[in-house]
Amino acid sequence: MEEDFLNDLNEQQRDAVLYTEGPELVIAGAGSGKTRVLTYKIAHLLQMGYPPYRLLALTFTNKAANEMKNRIAEVVGIETASRLWAGTFHSIFSRILRANADRLGYRHDFTIYDASDSLSLIKSIIKEMQLDDKVYKPSTVQSIISNAKNALIEPHVYAKNRELIEMDTRSKRPLICEIYRIYRHRCFVSGAMDFDDLLLNTNILFRDHPDVLQHYRDLFAYILVDEYQDTNFAQHLIVSQLGKEHNRICVVGDDAQSIYSFRGANIHNILGLSKEYPGLKIFKLERNYRSTQNIVNTANSLIAKNKEQIPKQIFSQKEQGNKVKVISAYSDFEEGFIVSNRIAELRLTTHCRYNDFAILYRTNAQSRTLEEALRKRNIPYRIYGGTSFYQRKEIKDAIAYFRLTINPNDEEALKRVINYPTRGIGNTTLTKLIDRAHESGLSIWNVLDDPKGNGVEVNSGTLNKLQGFKELIESFRLAATRQTTAELAETIVRQSGIMRDITAERTPENISRQENIEELLNGVQEFCTLRQESGEENTTLSDFLAEISLATDQDNGDEAEQDKVTLMTVHASKGLEFKQVFIVGVEENLFPSSMSQESEREIEEERRLLYVAITRAEENCTLTYALTRYRNGQTVSSPPSRFLKELDPRYVDMPAQARQEQPLEERPWRNSFAGEWGRKPFRRDDSDDSRTPAPRPFTAPAPAKRLTRIESRPASDNSSAPQTSATTAAGAIVVGSRICHARFGNGTVSAIEGTGDNSKITVEFDNVGRKQLLLKFAKFTLIE
DNA sequence: TCTGTACAATTTTTT
DNA sequence: ATTGTACAGA
């Protein structure tokens, strides 16, 4: 087979693919076909005779990893592709750590603590040390520890690092290092590693066990790394350790898209690469295939303001296209209104599907207003990165039981479920157990094994309860040896009492919890089946846990098929592209974030972030800012972002500058704006009219008008309390009634149970599917 | 020991 | 506005 795919590549791309004589850095501008180069490079290496299991391809996200695997499978077939070492840093190195866990004193089925496990552990340590959690803010402590780990600083090194100690002393937190030491020890006793440990411990493994390092050095004949600008020191060092000796490495990245420094990513890893690899050959991919010229030029004009970067000339040969549009709104409400209007409009004029639209924002909190606006317009949408499936309470509870079954030393899991469902083991008892455990360096489970022998004083009733819990978990461990994994999962959910607890009362919440648990069990089953198909005979619950603890991507396959507008943070959008992009909230204190104004370095990162956002767009890019916005319960006003002034006006449509100076009255917007609904949308300045001359086809429909009435009940509004309106509406409800819910939008009543205020209705919502509502609580109105 | 209520703090981004 | 925590009362 000839390498006919080479015809799919431009000259720069082809050079990058074919060069295999030494270390290589590919600077890949936004939309320049980076994934294509990586894919074909791997295909090329395979063709040269490298066996697939000797190629290591590292990415940053699961999404990127999957995409790469799929694209490679298309070129070389799934058989070969599945033998590659391709995945995220975290997944690949957790695999390697599991294989060598004994070298570090861990078991191969160690638990992976997610961010909330680690935060909760830090909280309890702070509490046990009787420190003030206002001085030692758990989240701050967590990020300090995380940064230390990413810089490969272990506690004993931390203690000797004058700079760090001085910093902690200055911020009146001299005991951080001690917390770190205890935290690390407690993770170890619990048989757990947190996210950062996966990288830190890999480095320790390689450092302390040269034979292991040598093994993987020999194994990986060629190393490819995507998004190198996002690597932190721990990742960078792993790559050098594995790749430096044979020098067959290819890293791809774009310094202009480095946006993860808050997580320890160091842009100098890529900027300083040529010093590290003397023969480093640099290729630049400068042709952008994604966006129109106006979009590319706008983005270039912005990023040009950054000082630290590798020089490159990104260009587009697509049509010039529309100018990038900047729109000013009075409030975040109006901003949502404008965006949803434009989506409706553009969908007609450009024949785009909803899938072609994305709304990008700086912070997750901004999604709310946008959701409301979209719902009013009946525009379907999907939010990326909300609370994912595995973050839901009932799922975390079930998983905590799974985790305990595999690893009873798992402290966080144990704390979570020792008294859920309620079994009379309260805080007092738990505290005794924990104190005892830590005094003797044991896990809580060890103490639980023999409370008396470990000196825990409890009355006999409590002792029985503890015994009962212990036996429960042990019965699961026994079941694990006799049942299939899917059966085991079901046993646990039932025997633990989770199922009983959430089926006790048939509230709408509980029904959705049950569905989630069902979905989890299906997930286990599906996972086992899938593994069986790929030749893995015995899939254990431990395998399942290992898989999901690193899965954060929530793009459910069938979800993605539906035609919906995408809402997500700019960070989450990296690597994606959309025909129509809206970037909202381009204001001072938001974008750039108020947290990032201290140094030029931080501002440069915010600038790169906006660069990433703009370069997601293929055809149209619209930036909006609101002069006032609801934040933490109150209205604040901020000027437009400084970045807007940095965009080259030749490629951008700006609203009249005078507008921005408009004095702001006190808030009445929120109330009065709703009243404007259904009439003409706000008209701000002439710039708006030239492009959207036609009378808007979508003035707000009548139902929406009514919806705004119940929603615009501000504290000051003394007209009707929401309860009243719901009760009034309730009386008239029949099957088939159309209702409008404050959160779920419009829907049709499909069933009614019970009477009066205690009755429950089932509603098929147009956008969010079936929900059950209790009349007593639900906020909705009858429409039509 | 559990439950309910009141009050406080919180918010940048996430593998 | 929501969420978590602290404290009081059962």
pLDDT digits (tens, 9 = 90+) for A55-110: 999 998 888 888 899 999 988 888 899 899 999 999 999 999 999 999 999 999 99
Sign of CA dihedral A672, A674, A677, A680: positive
Positive or negative torsion for Cα A215, A57, A259, A143: negative
Q: Does A767 have pLDDT greater than 60?
A: no
| Protein CA A263 to sugar C1' C2 (Å) | 26
Of the candidates A543, A498, A553, A741, which has an alpha carbon nearest to the alpha carbon of residue A88? A553
Q: Is the pLDDT of residue A379 over 80?
A: yes
Per the structure, the residues numbered 618 to 677 in protein chain A that have their CB within 7 angstroms of any atom of strand B are: 631-633
pLDDT at residue A741, rounded to an integer = 54
Amino acid letter for position A241? Q
**The pLDDT value given to residue A732:** 59
**What would the two tokens of residue A620 be?**
């149209």
Q: Would the pLDDT of A470 be above 80?
A: yes
φ, ψ (nearest 5 deg) of residue A112? -110, 120
Q: Which residue is nearest to nucleotide B10 (CA to C1')?
A: A632
pLDDT greater than 50 at residue A676: no
User: CB neighbours of A214 closer than 8 A, spacing ≥ 6?
Assistant: none
Burial of A161 (0-12, 13-18, 19+ CB in 10 A): middle
φ/ψ of A2, rounded to 5, equals: -80, 160
Å separating the CA of residue A118 from the C1' of nucleotide C3: 19
With tokens 């959910």, the residue in question is A493
Higher pLDDT, A129 or A303: A303
pLDDT at A303: 94
Q: Return the structure tokens found at A132.
A: 């003030």
Per-residue pLDDT at A691:
29
Q: Kindly report the CA angle at A432 between A427 and A434, in degrees rounded to 5?
A: 90
A324, pLDDT greater than 50: yes
Report the distance separating Cα A657 and Cα A6, nearest Å: 50
CA A370-A373-A376 angle, to 5 degrees, is 150
Which residue has its C-alpha nearest to nucleotide B14's C1'? A263
| Distance, CA of A509 to C1' of B3, in Å | 20
What's the confidence (pLDDT) of residue A672?
32
Per-residue b or e along A430-439, where b marks 16 or more CB atoms closer than 10 Å to that residue's CB: bebbbebbbe
| A646 φ, ψ (degrees, to nearest 5) | -85, -10
Q: Is residue A31 part of an annotated ligand binding site? A: yes
Our measurement of CA A319 to C1' B1, in angstroms, reads 71
Query: What mean pLDDT do residues A760-784 have?
Result: 55
Q: Which of residues 596-625 of A touch strand B (CB under 7 A)?
A: 596
pLDDT at A630: 85
Residue A34 marked as a ligand binder = yes
Assess whether pLDDT exceeds 80 at residue A260.
Answer: yes
Q: Where are the alpha helices (DSSP H) in A110-194?
A: 115-128, 138-150, 155-160, 162-170, 176-189
DSSP state of A596: G
Amino acid letter at A582?
Answer: F
CA of residue A116 to C1' of nucleotide C4, angstroms: 14
At position A224, the amino acid (one-letter code) is L
Average confidence (pLDDT) over A524-546: 89
Q: Is the CB of A386 under 7 A from strand B?
A: no
Handedness of CA A84, A85, A91, A96 (dihedral sign): positive
pLDDT tens profile A503-512: 877 777 778 7
Distances (CA, A) of A525 to A66, A519, A531, A532: 21, 10, 10, 11
Q: What is the pLDDT of residue A660?
A: 41
Stretch A758-768: mean pLDDT: 57
pLDDT over 60 (residue A457): yes
Which residue ranges have CB below 7 A from strand C? A 123, 632-633
A745: left (phi over 0), alpha (psi -120 to 50) or beta: left
CATH no. of A315-386+557-658: 3.40.50.300
Domain A5-104+199-285 belongs to what architecture?
3-Layer(aba) Sandwich (3.40)
pLDDT at A625: 93
Quote the pLDDT of residue A765. Answer: 61
The CA distance from A501 to A285, in Å, is 57
Contact between A17 and A294 under an 8 Å Cβ cutoff? The reply is no
Separation CA A580–CA A206 (nearest Å): 46
In whole angstroms, how far apart are CA A13 and each of A127, A151, A282, A453, A720?
A: 55, 34, 12, 68, 65
User: Does the annotation list A35 as a binding residue?
Assistant: yes
Amino acid at A362: R
State the nucleotide closest to A134 in CA–C1' terms.
Answer: B9
In this prediction, residue A278 has a pLDDT band, given cuts at 50, 70 and 90, of confident
Backbone angles phi, psi at A679, to 5 degrees: -90, -160
Would you tell me how many other CB atoms lie within 10 Å of the CB of residue A137?
A: 14
Give residue A488's pLDDT band: very low, low, confident or very high (50, 70, 90): very high
* CATH of range A389-550; options 3.90.950.10, 1.10.486.10, 3.40.718.10, 3.40.640.10: 1.10.486.10
Please determine, for residue A272, whether its predicted confidence score (pLDDT) is greater than 50: yes
Task: Compute the CA torsion angle A99, A104, A107, A112 (nearest 10 deg).
Answer: -90
User: What value does the mean pLDDT of chain A take?
Assistant: 81
CA of A447 and C1' of B1: distance in angstroms?
22
Report, as an integer, the average pLDDT of A375-402: 84
- Whether the CB-CB separation of A570 and A617 falls below 8 Å is answered with no
Separation in Å, CA A624 to CA A330, A362, A682, A695 = 10, 12, 15, 21
Q: Which residues of A are catalytic?
A: 34-35, 226-227, 257, 616
Q: CA at A711, C1' at C8: how many angstroms apart?
A: 35
Residues A717, A711 contacting (CB under 8 angstroms): no
What's the whole-number mean pLDDT along residues A662-674?
34
Per-residue confidence (pLDDT) for residue A554, from 0 to 100:
54
User: Which of chain B's bases lie under 7 Å from a protein CB?
Assistant: 1-3, 10-15
pLDDT of residue A533 exceeding 60, the answer is: yes
Q: How far apart are the first and last CA of chain A?
A: 66
Looking at residues A205-219, what average pLDDT do you find?
96
Give the pLDDT score at A439: 83
Residue A779 has pLDDT above 70, yes or no: no
If we measure between CA atoms, which residue out of A571, A566, A555, A597 comes closest to residue A363?
A: A571
Per-residue model confidence (pLDDT) at position A75 = 87
pLDDT, tens digit, for every residue of A607-618?
999 999 999 999
Counting every residue written for chain A, the total comes to: 784
pLDDT of residue A325 exceeding 80: yes
**Is residue A595 pLDDT above 90, yes or no?**
no
* Residue A643 CB burial class (10 angstroms; 0-12, 13-18, ≥19): buried
**CA quadruple A51, A52, A58, A64: dihedral sign:** positive
Phi, psi of A282, rounded to the nearest 5 degrees: -110, 130
Cα–Cα distance, A667 to A637 (Å, whole number): 10
User: Average pLDDT for residues A312-336, to the nearest whole number?
Assistant: 93
Report residue A274's pLDDT band, with 50, 70 and 90 as the boundaries.
confident
Q: Which CATH number fits domain A111-190: 1.10.1240.10, 3.90.1150.10, 1.25.40.10, 1.10.10.160?
A: 1.10.10.160
Does A33 count as an annotated binding residue? yes
Percent of chain A topping pLDDT 90? 47
Look at residue A553 in the predicted model and tell me its pLDDT.
55
Average pLDDT over residues A536-547: 89
- Name the residue among A14, A21, A25, A34 with its Cα closest to residue A282: A25
For strand C, the positions having any atom within 7 A of a protein Cβ are 1, 5
Q: Are A401 and A424 in contact (CB under 8 A)?
A: no
Which token pair is A92? 């690949």
Token pair recorded at residue A380: 């379907």
User: Nucleotide C1: nearest residue by CA–C1'?
Assistant: A633
Residue A295 pLDDT exceeds 90: yes
Instruction: Please give the residue that has the higher pLDDT: either A403 or A729.
Output: A403
pLDDT of A425? 82
β-strand partners of A696: none
For chain A, percent of residues with pLDDT exceeding 70? 82
Q: What is the DSSP string of A34-89?
A: HHHHHHHHHHHHHHHT--GGGEEEEESSHHHHHHHHHHHHHHH-HHHHTTSEEEEH
Residue A710 is predicted with a pLDDT of 24
Quick one: average pLDDT of A253-281?
Answer: 88
Residue range A36-52: mean pLDDT, rounded: 93
- Give Cα A277 distance to the centre of its chain: 33
Spatial distance from the CA of A775 to the C1' of C8 (Å): 32
Q: Is the pLDDT of residue A695 over 50?
A: no
pTM: 0.80
Please check the confidence at residue A188 and state whether its pLDDT lies above 80: yes
* Nearest nt (C1') from A633 Cα: C1
**Pick from A743, A764, A771: which is nearest to A372 by CA?**
A743
Instruction: Return the half-sphere exposure (C-beta side, CA atoms, 13 A cut-off) of residue A282.
Output: 17
Token couple for A424: 């009379």
Q: Report the C-alpha dihedral over residues A101, A103, A105, A110, rounded to 10 degrees.
A: 0
Q: How many CB atoms lie within 10 A of CB A473?
A: 21
SS3 state at A151: coil
Rounded Cα distance, A778 and A772, in Å? 10
**Is the CB of A754 within 7 Å of strand B?**
no
CA distances (Å), origin A58, targets A38, A141, A204: 11, 29, 19
The better pLDDT of the pair A142, A535 is held by A142
Residue whose tokens read 């309106």: A725
**Strand B within 7 A of A569 CB:** yes
Q: What's the confidence (pLDDT) of residue A648?
A: 94
Nearest nt (C1') to A715 (CA)?
C1
pLDDT higher than threshold 90 for residue A596: no
One-letter amino acid for residue A589 of the chain: N
**Closest nucleotide to A550: CA versus each C1':** B15
Q: Give the model's pLDDT for residue A689.
A: 29
Neighbours of A674 (CB within 10 A): 19
Residue A698 clears pLDDT 70, i.e. is over it: no
Placement of tokens 């319960």 in the chain? A633
